[in-house]
Each structure stands twice: as structure tokens, then as C-alpha cells.
Chains A and B, each alone.
Chain A
Amino acid sequence: MTAQALARDDLGALFDALRAEGYRVVGPTLRDDAIVLADLRGPEDLPAGWTVRQGPGTYRVERRDDEALFGFAVGQHSWKGFLFPSRERLVEMRREDGALEHRPAARDAAPLAFLGVRGCDLAAIEVQDRTFMRGRHVDPGYDARRRAAFVVAVDCLEAGDLCFCASMGTGPGVERGFDLRLTELGPRFLVAVGSARGASVAARLPLRAAPAGDERRRRDGLDDARAHMGRTMQADDLPGLLFGNLDHPRWDDVAARCLACANCTLVCPTCFCFSVETVSDLSGTEARRDRAWDSCFTVQHGQIHGATFRPRIKDRYRQWLTHKLGAWVSQFGVSGCTGCGRCIAWCPVGIDLTEEVAAIRATSRPAVAMPPPPAPAPAVREPMVPATARVTAVRRETDDVVTLRIAHEIAFRPGQFHMLGLPAIGEVPISIAGGDGRSVDHTIRAVGAVSGALAALEPGHALGIRGPFGSAWPLEACVGRPVVVVAGGVGLAPLRAALDTMAARPLDYPSVRLLYGARTPADLLFTDDLQRWAADPRFAVRVTVDHAGADWRGDVGVVTRLITDVPPDAVALVCGPEMMMGFSVRALCAAGLPAERAYVSMERNMACAVAHCGRCQLGPYFVCRDGPVFRFDRIARLFDQEGF
């Protein structure tokens, strides 16, 4: 096909054609002495004759000596603001007279045409597609907006001061993924069609055959841009390299400069973390869950009741960089960096990730192996909208722990969890402590506002339930082997369904040893179950407490003291506080158990539970998706790492 061109003076026809096809046109425009992305009326709103000069922590617009319409590098805004708005309503809820209603919030998916998408930014959109559209759970709002969006890409024939798209393989040319592509060549644009929708718009344009040599001028321009990138970064080996250097002194060095202000993450076109906020009226009748852009640089990102996982700025910068350039590959099969340079320009103190990476590389220890991304799974839609269920029975286990039986027909695997919520109060992850297909049991300790309100529910009360989510105890791998179960405190709850399964299948599980530790005899959970299991000749049950009165006849001391004589072919299932799990697995390994036959159940800040909000990350994993149950050797490196 002959190359086609659109005269610069005819660019208005593109706006007309896009509007005729139903699109609202958004793109770059000069506003407040910066080039921002906003609604465009026509070509007159494009920043003709403007460019930008950028450095670490600085950005200034300048006049060019020509009238180029796209002669500038990317600015603070990215297209993420349109596809993944900074605030979005997710779920609306209503509670009245004991009835509870959950419904998805209304969504605005008016089709947008993105005019002037650079290679790095188109790659960034495709990176976010993997988070919100290509995993097991599909974000319906993002999905609708993305499918409706029309992409007019623009080649970069000049590189910016902070660009390194050539290093990341995302630019400077745009070769695929667009509906239309423009290459600005002085008085005309070379036009390429990339889709049927693009062809339909192109058919409305006064295109002419491009002069001979325009294709060559495009290639030369791209070569020139590639040769003049403001930054470079060797990226292919970064996942293993960064995770092999979690103790590198450079993390302390950068932490002294880093403000943890989160600007890098919010201007990043691929960063996807969000918080889920519960909002309500004064009476709690009308409530909703909203999301807002969040960042791994905030304390709330890595915080649950009673634990702050990344208290220091060092922990947060390291989380960001190891995720962006490393863990992302394990999570989504692609780097989280597209080389756009925004994080360098918009860092108030000018921290340059290419410099930080180079400094780590210069004195690095060897790389480590990283896990591959998960296999594709069938998509589930509306993952954030809870089902309404009712409590049918409440059993008080201890002073501050109850077990709710909830009528809910669902299949689950022992070890998985549900998100349980109340409209005006919030939602928390709670492991499944048992179930029979018609109902599920959840054992809840009242520690915070949400768990306290859940623990106060009575039979007949309604609540919201989502799930089940996450990985399960490896009960099939345990078949025919001795099983050692080590539980601490409420950590027995996520193991209860597994223990019941083993109790119900005597031929598969010939020997089960349960070692259970609690603070005091009054804190012991499931005392009926403990007696039932202890009565089974295949089970050996040992219970220990930290403190006890004179009438206690069992063991006193930490649970790890009970870990002796571990059969060499055993499988161990461990659940409790993180510290207790660490000591337990160490004791099991010291007793001869290989780490790949020890399993632990992890807890992090699970807010969405569907691997979208990014808050429960543990190195290359999402605890909600790849956990909560992990084979110990897969996370051993992170387990003892402070601040992960």
C-alpha cells in the first residue's frame, strides 16, 4: 500500500472525523506553563511551537524555532488519568430494616479519542491492561473505557532529556497497538492505519499519497531519536539483580534523599495501586466504596491492624523500584517501566532511577532466580461487588473471638479467604474456617473497627461477602505422608478446614500431628474440635500456652518447643503470627524437613483481593492472588527481610 499523508492544514478534519464517529478528543495542550492532557477543541489547542526542557526535578516549557505540533516530550499527565481515574466509585450499598443491598456503581464510559499517544505511553497502557483486564479478575470500569478508547499515536522524532524508551523497547516509533498513527514531517503528517476503526476514521480524511522519501524520513528521524536518548538503562536482568541485592547500601543512600512524597508513582503511567475507602452518610444507611490512587510510598499502603510492613522510607523506595523493574515481570510478564522519564522529572528532589540502578549494578551481588508469571485463567467480572449473605449462628470461642456461620453456597478450598464487609464500616479479609457447601464458617478476632463490628453480628444479620480468593493448603501433596500442623493463636482458624478434611479421609492421611500454641488456656480456639481430633487415633494433638494457672495440665512455653522428631517425608502446614511462623519453619528444617515441604499462610494489606490494588505485595507475589498459602522456600528470602 502506498504511504498516505495528511496536510498539517487539514488536521481539523481529523477532529471532525473523530467527533463524527462519536469520540471526545483529548490530547496535549499548553496550560499553566506546562503541557497537560485535556479536552481539545481542534488543532488550535495543540501546543504549536512549544517544547519542554527537563532535568531531574525540573520541567520548563520553551518556544521552539519552528511551529511543530508534537515537538515535546511527555509531561506530568499520562493517559492513565482517563482510563484509571484518580478517584472512582466502585460499589454502592444500602442498609435499611435489616436488608442489605450491594450494586456496582454507575460508570461513565463515553468513548475517548487519545490524540498524540507516544510509544512509551502506548506501551504503558498495555502494561495497565495486564493488571486490570488480562488477569483472572477484570476491572469493569477500566475494561469498558479501554475498549471504547481510540488511539491516535504519534512517533517521536526527537528524544527528550530524560527519555530512555529505546532501552525499554517501547519507542521512539510506534509500530503497533494504535488505531491511527501520525508522523509529523513539517507541513504534513504521514498517516498509518492500525485497525478497522482507524480505517473508518481515515476514510473521512482528505488523505493524499505521501511524497516519495517520507517513509525514509520517518526511519531516519526515529534512528536519530534513538541515538539521542537523554538516558539509558540496561533492564533485561533487573528482576533477579534487584532481588539479589535487597541489602545493597544504595537503598540507605537513596532513602536519605527520598521524600516518600509519592510523586514518582502518581505520574508513572503504569503504577496502578489504589486504596479502597468506605464512605457513608451519618446514619450509615447509604454507603459506598470508592477507590483513589494510592502509592507504596504511603504508610497506609502496607499497613493492617497491628502491623506496618514498610515503616521506613528505605522500605518504600525499595518496594517501588524492585516492583517497577523487577517483581512486575513475575506478576504480569512485562517490566513496569516504559522509559518515559516522568518519575525523574517530577521527583521534587530529582532522584533518577537510572542512576540508582547503575549504582546498585556497579557493586552488586549475583542475581537470583525469579518466579514466572501465573498462567492465564478464565475472567471473573465485577469482582468488587459483594454478595449479601446472612449469619445463621454465632459461637463465642474466647473473650474476643467468635465464629460466624454464614449461609452462603460456595465451593472453597481450605486455606482460602473471603472479604467480609459491612456497608458503612469497611471490608476485611477473613480466612475460611470451615464449610459444607451451604454455609461457611469464619472465625474472627475483634481487633479493629471492621472485625469488631463483624464479631458483634448476631444470627439473622446481613453482611457482604466476596470470594473465595487465594491459594489453598496443599492437601493433595499431603496424601500418604505424615502431616505436621503448627498453629499459633487465631492461626488455627485457617487450618481448621484442612484438619477436618484430613480427619474425614483416613486412608489419605494416616498420620496428622497438630501442635497448637496460644497465649493462655482461655485463648484456645475450637476446644470441641481439638478433643474430637485428639480422639482420632491417627491424630496426635499437643497444645501449649504461654501463661497458665495451676489448673492447666498441658504444656507451657512456645509452640516451637513441641517441634521434635519430624518424620523426614512429612509435609508441614504452619499458620500464626509471622514471627512464630519463621521460628517454626526454622525448627522444622533443623529437625530435617526440607523447606519446600513447609507451607505458611501470609498476611498483608489485602484491600481488593483481586490483584488490582497492589497493596498486598510480597516481592514478586500478590498475597491475595499467589497466596495467602505459600511454599516456604519460595518466599524464604523475603521472610527474614526487614521492611518487605
Chain B
Amino acid sequence: MKPRLAVIKLASCDGCQVTLLDLEDELLAIGEALDVAHFTEASSRFDPDGPFDLTLIEGSVSQPRQIPIVRHARAMSKRLVAIGACANTGGLQALRNWANHEEYLSLVYARPEYIETLAESKPVSELVPVDFELNGCPPDRHQLLEVITAFLVGRRPNIRSESVCLECKRAGHVCVHVAYGIPCLGPVTQAGCGALCPGKRRGCYSCFGPRENANTGSLADDLERKGLPPAEVARRFRLIYGWAPPFRAESARREKP
């Protein structure tokens, strides 16, 4: 029997699920290798009960009703893989974690009493253990394919926690930070995107989040030496992956007067 796959969504833009659909050349093979039991974005087949051999979960835990979904997904899945910035660190919507939740609700919604949200946007791993975290906003489709392939053949996914700089140098891109003075978060950001922005002469804004052992303090010092005011440095660390602990701590340090 084919392994059963579920793709589940929480609070998210669906971009991670679309990344899976972007695997156009491999989609048929994936459909043949796996029994797609549940896929919110792509299929009308609706089988949330499980059990599943592999579950990809997208989005952050942002509403009380999502808590039982996450617990159910964990209980029903042999392997639970959290994909994307939201599922792994709370995502862009975690920007509200710094604000007053009640005030936001009354500012944004005409009838806030209809809205049920948590005060903080949380990563899945804060509620249940996950077997693997695939980062990126959205994740790279080749890396997503690698996670699925590795699961099917039984190897460890070849996803490295190194900096974007390695991909940038392997590609031969000229370093935007050194050669043009463009602030770049590549040195503290996890590789996987293929160094897309530096390849287009733009600084990395860390849509893959902090790499292992990110020395954010030294890079932030350097950005300040290059003329960025501390508040601007803080802002750069408080974006898509702002709630990830190393970035959260760095933005807090730079924010202080």
C-alpha cells in the first residue's frame, strides 16, 4: 500500500502548499508514489481523520480552534513536517506578538466580538513535537521535493543549516555586502533559496530565517557601522522570521534607546 500523505493548513497564505503544486514535472510521480489523502489547497478529497504516513503542515497556530487540529495531526501522523516560516516560527503574522492584541482587534475589525484569535501567533513546535522543519517563505520547491523523496526512500533529507553565503559563492554571485555596500542578512540566514536576491543585486532579507549558530550581533554591529540606525537594524531583523528566537533577541537589543 502506498504511504498516505496529508497536507494541512493553519494560519497562512497557502504559498507553501502552492510550492508543492509548483513541482510540475514531479507532480505525477508524487501522485503515484503517495496516496494523497488530504490536501486542502489542491483537492476536493477530504479525509482529515488519518492515519497518515507523512503530514506536511503549513501555517502558524493563531486561533484557538487550530490547537486541536495540530494535536490531531500529530496523533494521526507517523511523520509530521512543518513547512514554511509560519509553521516554524509564527510567520509574518507574529508581528502582532509585539503589539497589543485587543487594540489591534478593535482597530481592524468592525465587529471584533466575532473574531477568535490567540494573543500570539505560535509555531507548530510550541504545541507538538515535529519531525522536521523545512524553512522558507515559501520553502524552495527542490528542498520540498527532497524532503518527500528522502521520506520515501528512507534517507535523511539533505537540507543544510548553512548560511546563504555558501550558495551565493557557489553560484559565483558578486557579494552585494562587500562589493556594493548593500546590507545583506545572508550571513545569518539559512540557505535553501539558491541565493535569489543577492543574484539580483539585492540584499537578503532572510525569508528562510536564522541559520544554525547565527551571529546576529556581529552582523548588526556591522550594519550600524555602515550607517544604518539601530531602529532600522531592528526592523530588518523583525520581518518574516522576526519571532525566531535569535532574530527576536537581536531586534530587542537594537530597539533599546
Q: Does B161 contact A (CB under 8 A)?
A: yes
Cβ contacts A246-259/B at 8 Å (1 or 0 each): 00000000001111
Q: Does A200 contact B (CB under 8 A)?
A: no
Q: Does A81 contact B (CB under 8 A)?
A: yes
Contact A266 B170 (CB under 8 A): yes
Contact B222 A349 (CB under 8 A): yes
Cβ contacts B122-160/A at 8 Å (1 or 0 each): 000000000000000000000000001100111110101
Q: Does B186 contact A (CB under 8 A)?
A: yes
Taken together as a complex, chains A and B put the C-alpha atoms of A81 and B169 apart, in Å, by: 10
Nearest chain B CB to A557's CB is how many angstroms away? 35
Main SS of the interface on chain B?
Answer: helix
Contact A36 B178 (CB under 8 A): no
Cβ contacts A277-307/B at 8 Å (1 or 0 each): 1111111100000001111001110000000
Q: Which of A77, A259, A298 contacts B160 (CB 8 A)?
A: A298
Taken together as a complex, chains A and B put the C-alpha atoms of A266 and B172 apart, in Å, by: 10
Q: Which of B153, B154, B165, B178 contacts A345 (CB 8 A)?
A: B178
CB-CB under 8 A from B186, the residues of chain A are 261
Taken together as a complex, chains A and B put the C-alpha atoms of A258 and B26 apart, in Å, by: 40
Q: Does A58 contact B (CB under 8 A)?
A: yes
Known pairs A257-B218, A281-B149; A76 contacts B156 (CB<8 A): no
CB-CB under 8 A from A59, the residues of chain B are 175, 178-179
Q: Does B162 contact A (CB under 8 A)?
A: yes
With an 8 Å Cβ cutoff, the count of chain A residues facing the other chain is 57
CB-CB under 8 A from A258, the residues of chain B are 215, 218
Contact B166 A266 (CB under 8 A): yes
Taken together as a complex, chains A and B put the C-alpha atoms of A278 and B149 apart, in Å, by: 11
Taken together as a complex, chains A and B put the C-alpha atoms of A279 and B142 apart, in Å, by: 11
Cβ contacts B178-199/A at 8 Å (1 or 0 each): 1111001011100000000000
Of residues A76, A259, A425, which shows the largest number of chain B Cβ atoms within 10 Å of its Cβ? Answer: A259
Q: Which of B170, B177, B179, B219 contacts A293 (CB 8 A)?
A: B170
Cβ contacts B216-244/A at 8 Å (1 or 0 each): 01110110000000000000000000000
Q: Which of A86, A278, A348, A452 contacts B178 (CB 8 A)?
A: A348
Contact A426 B156 (CB under 8 A): yes
Q: Does A449 contact B (CB under 8 A)?
A: yes
With an 8 Å Cβ cutoff, the count of chain B residues facing the other chain is 42
Nearest chain B CB to A153's CB is how many angstroms away? 22
Contact A284 B153 (CB under 8 A): yes
Nearest chain A CB to B1's CB is how many angstroms away? 16
**A-B pairs under 8 A by CB, number:** 147
Q: Does B106 contact A (CB under 8 A)?
A: no
Q: Does B30 contact A (CB under 8 A)?
A: yes
Which residues in chain B, 71-104, are within 8 Å of chain A measured between CB atoms?
A: none
Contact A32 B212 (CB under 8 A): no
Contact A58 B178 (CB under 8 A): yes
Q: Which of A60, A281, A283 contacts B179 (CB 8 A)?
A: A60
Taken together as a complex, chains A and B put the C-alpha atoms of A295 and B219 apart, in Å, by: 19
CB-CB under 8 A from B217, the residues of chain A are 256
Contact B174 A86 (CB under 8 A): no
Of residues B149, B179, B213, B217, which shows the largest number of chain A Cβ atoms within 10 Å of its Cβ? Answer: B179
Contact B171 A86 (CB under 8 A): yes
Residue of B nearest to A32 (CB): B174
Q: Does B201 contact A (CB under 8 A)?
A: yes
CB-CB under 8 A from B175, the residues of chain A are 59, 76, 263, 346, 348
CB-CB under 8 A from B154, the residues of chain A are 424-425, 449, 452-453
Contact A348 B219 (CB under 8 A): yes
A-B contact pairs, 19 of them (CB 8 A): A31-B174, A57-B177, A256-B218, A259-B218, A260-B163, A261-B166, A262-B166, A262-B169, A263-B169, A279-B158, A281-B29, A283-B33, A293-B166, A293-B169, A298-B160, A348-B165, A350-B222, A424-B155, A426-B155
Residue positions of A touching B, CB distance < 8 A:
31-34, 36, 57-60, 76-77, 81, 86-87, 256-263, 266-267, 275, 277-284, 292-295, 298-300, 311-313, 345-350, 424-426, 448-450, 452-453
Interface contacts beyond A33-B179, A293-B169, A313-B213: sample of 13 additional A-B pairs, CB < 8 Å, sorted by A: A32-B179, A33-B180, A86-B169, A256-B215, A256-B217, A261-B163, A262-B163, A295-B166, A298-B162, A298-B163, A348-B177, A348-B222, A425-B154
3 A-B pairs with least C-beta separation: A261-B187, A266-B169, A86-B170
